[in-house]
Homo-oligomer: A and B are copies of this chain.
Amino acid sequence: MPDPSPRPLRNVLFVMCDQLRWDYLSCYGHPSLRTPAIDALAARGVRFDAAYVQSPVCVPSRMSFYTGRYVGSHGTTWNHVPFAAGEQTLGDHLARAGRRAALAGKTHVVPDFPGLRRLGIEPESPEGRLRLDGGFVELDRYDGHAPPGSESGYADYLRAHGYTGADPWTDYVIAARDEHGEKASGWLLRNAHLPAIVREEHSETAYMTDRAIEFIESQGDEPWVLHLSYIKPHWPLMAPAPYHDMFRSSGTGRIVRADPASENPHPVLQAYRKAHEDCLSYGREEVVRHVRPTYMGLVRQVDDHLQRVLDCLERSGRAKDTLIVFTSDHGDHLGDHGLGEKELFYEQAVRVPLIVVDPRPGADATRGTAIDAFVESVDVVPTLLEAIGLDPAPHVVEGRSLLPLLEGRGAGDWREAVFSELDFSFRSARRVLGLPADGCYGWMARTRRWKYVHWKGMRPQLFDMLHDPDELVDLGDAPGCDAVRAEMRHRLMEWSLNRKARTTVDAAAIERRTEDWRRNGLFIGVW
Contacts and interface: CB of A to CB of B under 8 A. Distances in A.
For A88, A395, A496, A502, the residue with the greatest tally of chain B CB atoms inside 10 Å of its CB is A502
Interface string A477-511: 00000000010011011001111111111010111
A105 B84 CA distance: 31
A391 B282 CA distance: 43
A436 interface: yes
A514 B434 CA distance: 13
Nearest to A92: B118
- When all copies of this chain in the complex are counted, the total is 2
Contacts of A86: 84-87, 115, 119
Interface in A72-110: 72-77, 80-88, 92, 95
A430 B510 CA distance: 11
A220 interface: no
Interface stretch (A183-191, A293-301, A369-377): A183-191
A527 B426 contact: no
A22 B24 CA distance: 62
Contact of A81 (B187, B282, B505): B505
Given A120-B121, A496-B497, A514-B431, A81 B526 contact: no
Contact of A527 (B287, B496, B511): B287
Nearest to A276: B525
For A121, A507, A515, the residue with the greatest tally of chain B CB atoms inside 10 Å of its CB is A515
Nearest to A275: B515
A33 interface: no
Interface stretch (A124-132, A359-367, A410-418): A124-132
A81 B500 CA distance: 13
A166 interface: no
B504 A83 contact: yes
Contact of A454 (B489, B497, B516): B497
Nearest to A501: B75
A87 to B, nearest CB: 7
A353 interface: no
A519 interface: no
Nearest to A341: B525
A189 B527 contact: yes
Nearest to A486: B486
A492 B498 CA distance: 12
A211 interface: no
A82 B497 contact: no
A72 B496 CA distance: 10
Contacts of A502: 75-77, 81, 423
A525 B279 contact: yes
Interface string A250-264: 000000000000000
A235 B522 CA distance: 10
A514 B84 contact: no
Contacts of A436: 507
Contact of A504 (B75, B146, B441): B75
Contacts of A269: none
Given A119-B86, A507-B438, A73 B188 contact: no
Nearest to A84: B504
Contacts of A119: 85-86, 119, 121, 127, 131
B188 A426 contact: no
For A118, A122, A527, the residue with the greatest tally of chain B CB atoms inside 10 Å of its CB is A527
18 contacts: A75-B504, A76-B504, A80-B505, A83-B504, A84-B86, A84-B504, A120-B122, A277-B525, A280-B525, A340-B525, A341-B524, A423-B502, A426-B516, A430-B514, A436-B507, A437-B507, A441-B498, A496-B496
Query: Top 3 nearest A-B pairs by Cβ distance?
Result: A86-B86, A278-B525, A120-B127
Given A119-B121, A120-B122, A456-B497, 8 more contacts: A71-B501, A75-B501, A80-B505, A120-B125, A340-B525, A428-B515, A454-B497, A492-B493
